[in-house]
A = this chain, B = another copy of it.
Amino acid sequence: MANIDEIAKLAGVSVSTVSRVLNHHPYVSESKRAAVQRVIDEMDYTPNRSAVDLIRKETRSIGVILPFNNNQAFDQLLHGVLSRSVELDYSVMVLPTRYDAEKELKYLNMLKNKRLDGIIITSRSNTWDAIVPYTKYGTIVTCELTDRPEIGCAYVDRYASYVDTFQLLKDKGHSLVAFTIARGEESNSTQLTIKAYQQVFGDIPEEYLVRDCYSMDDGLRAAQELLHLKVRPTAVYANGDEVAAGIYQYARSLQLRIPEDLALIGQENQPVGMGLHLSTVDHQLAKVGEKAFDLVIKNSRGKVEIPYHILVRQSIND
């Protein structure tokens, strides 16, 4: 591929002039601009991006740190990020950690070596103490609330959301309420779910907490565990609509009526829940992703709260 020097030579101008037309600067005579453009077209020339990034000290690329890409929730966040990035002509790298703290730091290092202008952390494995130093090299935005002033946040008040949901169930007359979670206790949202439960109902009966739930299949397993207990829960709060759908399915196979025999509520308002009339808590993850993107490219440390919505559908009794 030709370079800018060659274009300049062929057009009979200096490289600065070529650079100017490339970057749509004013103060270029129409005749020269046209001449340069013609040569550019003829030679099928495109500026080398590494050279531009090197001198501009920015890449118009951002990264998204997530544990897995094949997960509904992270996929929604990513979707939000991508929507905005396409509009604003940014590129996005997907940085999957599998909850490996080492790898996470390696990704953060892409700010330092100027490969990325910013990074969105959708879920982290490191402590903030380990992460914050990297803000020196680029913008870091996270999808949970932290009071670290160096970190931008696009977040949902999960604790309030969980409390609200459990309270709703309680208000509907349920005292035997089970719930499902994804990872074990080290995860942020898991911790908050547990705290919220305790806040509303007090102690958690060990058998009312089902771990490692991600898919509909896990929902079936969870229901299998829960619905054969001597003291069967009368309501379940699932950590996702897929999981809720699995529970629904299993309950129906047992001839249980929803919501009369079992009330059910999921999360994230996924299509899977719509036709089943499952209630759900929509944390608006795509919107969180969009907002996180906006923060990161504005180099903002703002804390932006995204509202959640509890959608009560037929799977909850009146």
Contacts and interface: CB of A to CB of B under 8 A. Distances in A.
Interface string A28-52: 0000000000000000001111110
Interface string A82-114: 100010000111111010000100000110111
A276 interface: yes
Contacts of A220: 275
Given A78-B69, A82-B96, A115 B245 contact: no
Interface residues of A, number: 55
A82 B103 CA distance: 14
Count of chain copies? 2
A143 interface: no
Interface in A202-221: 214-221
Contacts of A252: 252
A113 B69 contact: no
A137 interface: yes
A245 B216 contact: yes
B113 A47 contact: yes
B49 A113 contact: yes
A252 B110 CA distance: 51
A149 interface: no
